[in-house]
């Protein structure tokens, strides 16, 4: 969809979308406006502006965004008439008196190219100015329906269903399952230390992991990687050593964290942290579950390599690690570590040994 600009959700191109909620009555509409805001956020909008001041509503929506991710914003107490007047983009007003969505959605999609979009939804009766000021008055059936469903269907038609697979990179995420309920989470630093202790990690593992996490955090900041994932992944990377000190400790760690419902991205960081990764072929020779354990994401690469550069409690030069691998006859693995070092240094724009 070339008309969409990459904005809120890297990987999916969406126009900047604002929802303008007018005639919100805090004493009466709190619940329905909350649902409008949640739907807007989940379906890929960037922000909601609400005309009446409502701090409770702001707090509710901010809490959801903090837990479940994305950078959806809410502002209340907005003069909607001024906002609409100044708004330089496409204005859509959702109303049962409008043109059926299926008749105008293609035109809206092409008009919004390289422009922002504001979508007006009313709470109580919408004044005539909103009809007159809008580029499009759009109906989702000509029957009276809830603004929540009108908004959801409009956004879904606009984005042709692609919004259903948005990734919000939140600290909490839902793992869909046919039965039951699975919520995964990104643990905080304190939670990671608690998990390590509960699993029986000794002081040596904990001190080493803290050191790896400090170095990994420096690389993550320099390369704009996801810091919470890197810190948690680094702190937990050796948790499998509470079960085994063999080459299989990374797999053992990933099993522990998977059972603890830790975010899958962290489970994979831990599973793929050995050297610069273990190939499918090597996994067979090493007697590991047959799999490619090569780090793929930036966060996986950072944790694996920070671990390469920390021996016990101290940071060591790359040459020390590489020699250790070569002395063991692990020539290919040593080369892979060198090239991972170069790759991360290129991304950081500085040799990571100098960080
Ligand atoms: N009672 C209010 C009135 O007289 O205007 C309208 C309440 S209605 C439930 C709230 C909002 O839902 C409307 O302002 C409009 O944005 C939206 N809405 C309701 N039915 C709609 C429809 N069929 N198509 C599009 N939007 C609709």
- Going from the Cα of 122 to the center of ligand 1, the distance in angstroms, rounded, reads 6
What one-character-per-residue DSSP string does 102-117 give?
HHHHHHHHHHTTTS-E
Indicate the angle between helix axes 331-348 and 318-327, nearest 10 degrees: 160
* CA neighbor of 321 nearest in space, from 273, 270, 275: 275
Distance of alpha carbon 146 from alpha carbon 252, whole angstroms: 50
- Please give the model's pTM, rounded to 2 decimal places: 0.80
Cα 18–Cα 21–Cα 22 angle in degrees, nearest 5 = 135
Pocket of ligand 1, candidates 32, 94, 141: which has the most ligand atoms within 8 Å of its Cβ, to mutate?
94
The pLDDT confidence band at residue 347, using thresholds 50, 70 and 90, is very high
* Tokens 């919520």 belong to residue: 183
Q: What is the pLDDT of residues 234-291, one digit of tens each?
A: 999 999 999 999 999 999 999 999 999 999 999 999 999 999 999 999 999 999 999 9
Q: pLDDT tens-digit profile of 205-238?
A: 999 999 999 999 999 999 999 999 999 999 999 9
In which residue are the tokens 């600009």 written? 5
CB 3 within 8 Å of CB 105: no
Q: Choose one of 103, 105, 147, 155 to mutate for the ligand 1 pocket test, by most ligand atoms within 8 angstroms of C-beta.
A: 147
Q: How many CA atoms lie within 13 A of 88 on its CB side?
A: 1
Query: Of 355, 257, 263, 253, whose CA–CA distance to 302 is shortest?
Result: 355
Please say whether the beta carbons of 279 and 292 come within 8 A: yes
Sign of CA dihedral 314, 317, 318, 319: negative
Q: Tokens in use for 240?
A: 């499998």
């Amino acid at each position: 969809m070339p008309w969409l600009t990459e904005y809120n959700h890297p990987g999916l191109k969406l126009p900047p979308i604002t929802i303008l909620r007018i005639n919100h009555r805090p004493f009466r509409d709190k619940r329905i406006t909350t649902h409008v805001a949640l739907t807007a956020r989940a379906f890929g909008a960037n922000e909601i502006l609400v005309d009446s001041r409502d701090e409770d509503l702001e707090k509710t929506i901010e809490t959801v965004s903090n837990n479940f991710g994305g950078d959806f914003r809410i502002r209340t107490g907005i003069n909607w008439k001024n906002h609409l007047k100044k708004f330089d983009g496409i204005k859509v007003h959702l109303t049962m008196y409008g043109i059926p969505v299926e008749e105008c959605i293609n035109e809206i999609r092409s008009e919004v190219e390289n422009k922002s979009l504001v979508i007006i939804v009313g709470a109580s009766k919408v004044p005539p100015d909103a009809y007159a000021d809008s580029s499009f008055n759009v109906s989702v059936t000509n029957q009276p329906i809830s603004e929540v469903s009108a908004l959801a269907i409009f956004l879904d038609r606009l984005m042709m269903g692609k919004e259903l697979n948005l990734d919000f990179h939140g600290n909490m995420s839902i793992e869909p399952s046919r039965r039951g309920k699975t919520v995964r989470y990104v643990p905080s630093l304190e939670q990671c230390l608690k998990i390590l202790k509960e699993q029986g990690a000794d002081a040596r593992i904990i001190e080493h992991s803290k050191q790896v996490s400090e170095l990994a955090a420096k690389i993550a900041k320099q390369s704009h990687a996801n810091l919470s994932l890197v810190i948690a992944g680094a702190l937990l990377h050796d948790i499998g050593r509470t079960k085994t000190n063999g080459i299989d400790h990374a797999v053992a760690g990933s099993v522990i964290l998977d059972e603890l419902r830790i975010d899958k991205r962290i489970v994979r960081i831990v599973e793929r942290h050995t050297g610069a990764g273990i190939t499918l072929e090597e996994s067979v020779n090493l007697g590991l579950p047959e799999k490619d354990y090569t780090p793929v994401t930036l966060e996986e690469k950072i944790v694996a390599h920070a671990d390469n550069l920390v021996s016990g409690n101290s940071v060591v030069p790359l040459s020390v690690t590489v020699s250790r691998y070569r002395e063991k006859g692990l020539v290919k693995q040593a080369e892979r570590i060198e090239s991972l070092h170069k790759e991360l240094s290129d991304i950081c724009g500085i040799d990571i040994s100098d960080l």
